[in-house]
Amino acid sequence: MLNLQPYADPKYFIILLLALLPLAIGLYFGKRFAWYEVIVSVVFIFLMFDGHKYHEGFALIGYMIWQWLLVWAYTIYRKKANNSWVFYGATVLAIVPLALVKIAPAAHWTHVTTLLGFMGISYLTFRSVAMIMETRDGTIKAFNPWLFLRFMLFLPTISSGPIDRYRRFVKDIESVPAREKYLDMLGKAVHFFFLGFLYKFVLSYIFGTLLLPRVEHMAMLSAHANGGWSWWLIGVMYAYGFDLFFDFAGYSLFAVATGYVMGIEVPMNFNLPFLSKNLKEFWNRWHMTLSFWFRDFVFMRLVFMMMKNKWFKSRITTSNVAYIANMLLMGFWHGLTWYYIAYGLFHGVGLVVNDAWLRYKKKHHVPHNKFTEAFAIVLTFHVVMISFLLFSGFLDTLWFHHHH
């Protein structure tokens, strides 16, 4: 049976672009063929979850019914009342399926994974939770079942983002870009596709497929004699870090490019993250739609709540607590393993230290020139790379599951 995983091989791109051609022609002539777009999306989503992945397909359908009912019911409720506990309840219910799927591997609930898990569950959850929060704030005022489905199941971004926002998405999908603008988007799409090919099929292949297994093997061999440490670990760190970036940034470029072909300005996910001068800037450039989601729906709301209820006297304490909580939650979201949680904590503490440094810099005279900037970039890059080594789980294999 034909099964097509998004952006996996050249065949996918050819079939996808052929299927999208009528849509693109329509957009060029100022028409958006909504029905055609829906049919193409349904067919491609079916092809993602058919064959041996059928159980994921059923999980997706069940999940969508759950979220659909939840957001719909909450919107109806919100028009009449605004009790905080109902809001918390709705948010928790929206997160429950994802939480179960994330807990399942650690708790060895294989049946839960089979029943509820499907590729992309995280990214759909980010979208629906954001909708509930914005409905509470009153910035989303109505539930449109049709737009809800098109937003949640938007084909280019269904499996791994970028995470769009409902109001932004609706603005695009309910209109047609002017011809000049659409041609500009198509030009960008071509550029993004080719850059994505370079990232994912050349650079990520070099770092992830060619280099990484070799350095990992060498690190394993030398660890035996050196109590778990060796210079090869540095090689693993660079190979893994670059692979992670080029693989995910490449994928994200494909998703954005496909969105552009469909006349939707899907937000970018990466903006030269390795040129960041500090950790805060890094999180404004790395997996941006995720970190902005956490910024807007976790960090800022947490700070808002803590300040409004005056939990802490000092604003510094408030922001430090929020940084750690925010990044820890991101760590937990990646999965319940010590290294994901440690990765979250690492970045939480990193942001606290970073902020203390920025405050110090504001008060005292710190020399600033090309060399200090270059030093800051190299330092930030290495802090990030160390965190990726932690994130990779290789240390776990090396130290705790490596039997000689």
Partner 1 sequence: MDVKTEVVEILNTIIGEDISDQMDDDFFESGLLDSMATVELLLDLETKFDIQAPVSEFDRNDWNTPNKVIAKVESLMG
Could you list the residues that contact partner 1 (CB under 8 A)? 133-134, 137-139, 280, 295-296, 299-301, 303-304, 307-308, 315, 318-319, 322, 362
Q: How far is the CB of 137 from partner 1 (least distance, A)?
A: 4
Q: Which is nearest to 98 in space by CA: 70, 126, 69?
A: 126
Q: Which is nearer to partner 1, 55 or 295 (CB)?
A: 295
The distance of Cα 24 from the centroid of its chain, to the nearest Å, equals 27
Q: How far is the CB of 347 from partner 1 (least distance, A)?
A: 15
Q: Which is nearer to partner 1, 193 or 293 (CB)?
A: 293
- In angstroms, the CA 376 to CA 58 distance is 49
Q: Which is nearer to partner 1, 54 or 88 (CB)?
A: 88
Q: Which is nearest to 267 in space by CA: 165, 188, 122?
A: 165
Residues 6+ apart with CB under 8 A from 278: 354, 357, 358, 376, 380
User: What DSSP character marks residue 337?
Assistant: S
Q: How far is the CB of 396 from partner 1 (least distance, A)?
A: 32
Catalytic positions are 334
Q: Which is nearer to partner 1, 254 or 286 (CB)?
A: 286
- In angstroms, the CA 211 to CA 46 distance is 35
The distance of Cα 390 from the centroid of its chain, to the nearest Å, equals 18
Sign of the torsion angle spanned by Cα atoms 126, 129, 133, 135: positive
- In angstroms, the CA 176 to CA 381 distance is 40
Q: How many residues does the chain have?
A: 404
Q: How far is the CB of 165 from partner 1 (least distance, A)?
A: 9
Q: How far is the CB of 281 from partner 1 (least distance, A)?
A: 8
Q: Which is nearer to partner 1, 289 or 319 (CB)?
A: 319
